[in-house]
């Protein structure tokens, strides 16, 4: 997780949050244009995330839920005014894109696969978000209808040569997806925290809830190949299949994985 030191957080904060920042070193740790993330280096550390009004409400709810389950960081404050502000206590350790973990790709691959299987076996009966599948499919269909997806990845966007081909596959297979397990929703190496090879928590939980395990499986397979290729590891693409093996093929349906890939064509 990159961190660039800055002088101050460039928005007006409520007094109780300013007190946490006063005198602390501040780092910009943002990784997407949709939100800004700042690390506050005080005590064991805090993360402050800002985004458009209402956009962090789900993340605040699900981060709090994962914390209750012992799977994420503590939510200290969620404020929705002109914009959203979410303050959490830092999860100990480093994310899985840290060199010491990428240096042992087999160990890392097996660990995150086994950790995902454990997540999917967590009792989700009290989860506040019950229908991630419905939301997931609705978003993909809306983006297709509005022509709101990245066409630069064609002719090979997650295995599909065009938007029409991807949407046809989604339409045929969407009935296969079920709300059955607790999912992360964006199961990628930067969102998994380890402390000395011990799992310490998940971050970026805005897409979490009860959904279909294959959404996480798709991204787990993808992240191993993508992040290891960025690290210039030879044969990086083979780790995606190792990930599925380590998770357990007994729970994997290739048809559903292909349907998820079709949905992801449309973000």
CATH number at 68 reads: 3.30.200.20
Same domain, 129 and 220: yes
Same domain, 70 and 105: no
Q: Which two tokens stand for residue 211?
A: 């959904």
Q: Quote the pLDDT of residue 26.
A: 96
Same domain, 17 and 136: no
Domain boundary among 37, 64, 89: 89
Same domain, 59 and 98: no
β partners of residue 194: 94, 199
Asked if residues 244 and 211 have their Cβ atoms less than 8 Å apart, the reply is: no
Q: Quote the pLDDT of residue 249.
A: 97
Q: Quote the pLDDT of residue 34.
A: 84
Domain boundary among 89, 117, 136: 89
pLDDT single digits (tens) 12-48: 899 989 999 999 999 999 988 889 999 999 999 999 9
pLDDT single digits (tens) 49-83: 999 999 999 999 999 999 999 999 999 999 999 99
Look-up of token digits 């297979």: 173
Tell which residue, 93, 20, 21, has the closest CA to residue 9.
21
Same domain, 79 and 100: no
Q: Which helix (H) or strand (E) holds 169?
A: helix 163-173
Cα 251 to its chain centre, rounded Å, is 21
Residue 202's contacts (CB-CB under 8 Å, 6 or more residues apart) are 66, 71, 72, 91, 119, 184, 191, 192, 193, 208
What CATH number is associated with residue 204? 3.90.1200.10
Write out the residue range of the structural domain in which residue 116 sits.
94-264
Same domain, 110 and 233: yes
Q: Quote the pLDDT of residue 33.
A: 81
Q: Alpha helices of the chain — where are they, by DSSP H?
A: 15-21, 57-68, 99-102, 105-120, 132-145, 163-173, 213-230, 239-247, 254-264
Q: How far apart are CA 57 and CA 78, in angstroms?
A: 8
Q: Quote the pLDDT of residue 57.
A: 98
Same domain, 214 and 154: yes
pTM: 0.96
- Catalytic residue positions? 186
Same domain, 84 and 98: no
Domain boundary among 33, 56, 89: 89
């Amino acid at each position: 997780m990159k961190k660039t030191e800055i002088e101050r957080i460039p928005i007006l904060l409520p007094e109780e949050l300013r007190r946490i920042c006063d005198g602390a070193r501040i780092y910009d740790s943002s990784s997407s244009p949709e939100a800004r993330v700042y690390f506050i280096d005080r005590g064991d550390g805090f993360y402050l995330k800002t985004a458009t009004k209402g956009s962090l409400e789900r993340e605040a709810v699900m981060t709090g839920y994962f914390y209750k389950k012992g799977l994420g960081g503590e939510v200290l404050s969620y404020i929705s005014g002109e914009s959203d502000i979410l303050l959490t206590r830092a999860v100990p350790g480093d994310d899985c894109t840290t060199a010491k973990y990428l240096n042992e790709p087999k160990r890392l691959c097996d660990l995150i696969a086994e950790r995902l299987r454990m997540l999917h076996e967590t009792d989700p009966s009290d989860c506040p978000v019950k229908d991630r599948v419905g939301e997931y499919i609705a978003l993909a269909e809306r983006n297709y209808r509005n022509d709101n997806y990245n066409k630069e990845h064609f002719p090979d966007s997650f295995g599909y040569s065009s938007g029409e081909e991807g949407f046809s596959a989604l339409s045929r297979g969407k009935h296969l997806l079920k709300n059955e397990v607790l999912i992360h929703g964006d199961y990628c190496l930067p969102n998994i925290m380890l402390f000395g090879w011990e799992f310490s928590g998940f971050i970026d939980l805005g897409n979490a809830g009860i959904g279909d395990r294959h959404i996480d499986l798709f991204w787990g397979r993808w992240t191993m190949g993508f992040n290891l290729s960025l690290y210039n590891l030879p044969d990086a693409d083979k780790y995606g299949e190792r990930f599925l093996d380590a998770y357990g093929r007994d729970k994997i349906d290739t048809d559903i994985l292909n349907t998820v890939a079709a949905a992801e064509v449309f973000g």
